[in-house]
Structures are given as C-alpha cells and as structure tokens.
Amino acid sequence: DGGITQSPKYLFRKEGQNVTLSCEQNLNHDAMYWYRQDPGQGLRLIYYSQIVNDFQKGDIAEGYSVSREKKESFPLTVTSAQKNPTAFYLCASSPRTGRAGENIQYFGAGTRLSVL
C-alpha cells in the first residue's frame, strides 16, 4: 500500500539522550515535513525538506535535527538540547511545496515520545 510510515508508534527517552524518529514514504513525493503536536497547540512545523539533500527550519527547529539523504526517508532526531520533548510527532509528505494542488500534505500515523 502507498503511504507514509512512522516508527515507532511509542518512544521513550531518558534524560540527556538523543532519539531518532523514522519517517518513510513510498508516494514518490518530493517534499516532506515534521510537525510537533501538543494539546491545544495545533501542528507546529519543526523542519521541512523540498528535495533530497536540502531542508529548511520551521517555526520550532531548536533542539531538533534532520537529514534527507534519500527521497523516501526523512528521519528526525530529538537531541538532548530539546528540554521538553514529550509530544506527538507527525510526519507528512506532499508532491511539492509551492504549487496549488500539489502541496496537499499526507500524514503518517504519528510517534508519541515521552521522557522517562
């Protein structure tokens, strides 16, 4: 089936530890996105990538890092510098970023990260 796969569904992080969330898509989309969702805060953009080997910071990039070495993969690392990492993380992809009709985003099922 075509779609976006996020793993794991649940993740626990110890203090001072880096953790990496996986996002894979087989939709052949150029653009991929990472969002953080906190209760009542909506979707806040962390990073996005419009093409392989390129990415841009979103509204809340501090404490996070990403890479885009392959078109189908856009992993997110939550570093120890992110002091409040507990949240629901959503990955999305779209055919492109800046063209009407082609910038519709399709979402994965999310990863819930908790701090031990």
Partner 1 sequence: GQQLNQSPQSMFIQEGEDVSMNCTSSSIFNTWLWYKQDPGEGPVLLIALYKAGELTSNGRLTAQFGITRKDSFLNISASIPSDVGIYFCAGWNSGNTPLVFGKGTRLSVIA
34-73 per-residue burial string, b: 16 or more CB within 10 A, e: under 16? bbbeeeeeeeebbbbbbeeeebeebebbeebbbebeebbe
Applying CB under 8 A, what is the total number of residues that bind partner 1? 29
User: Side by side, which strands form the sheet with 64-66?
Assistant: 4-7, 19-25, 76-78, 64-66
Bridge partners (DSSP) listed for residue 49:
32
Q: Which stretch binds partner 1 (CB under 8 A): 14-22, 67-75, 78-86, 93-101?
A: 93-101
Q: Taking CB under 8 A as the rule, which mask of x and - marks residues 36-65 in contact with partner 1?
A: ----xxxx-x--x-x-------xx------
Q: Which stretch binds partner 1 (CB under 8 A): 13-21, 65-73, 75-83, 91-99?
A: 91-99
Asked if residue 98 binds partner 1 (CB under 8 A), the reply is yes
| Residues binding partner 1 (CB under 8 A) | 4, 6, 31, 33, 35, 40-43, 45, 48, 50, 58-59, 90, 92, 97-98, 100-101, 103-110, 112
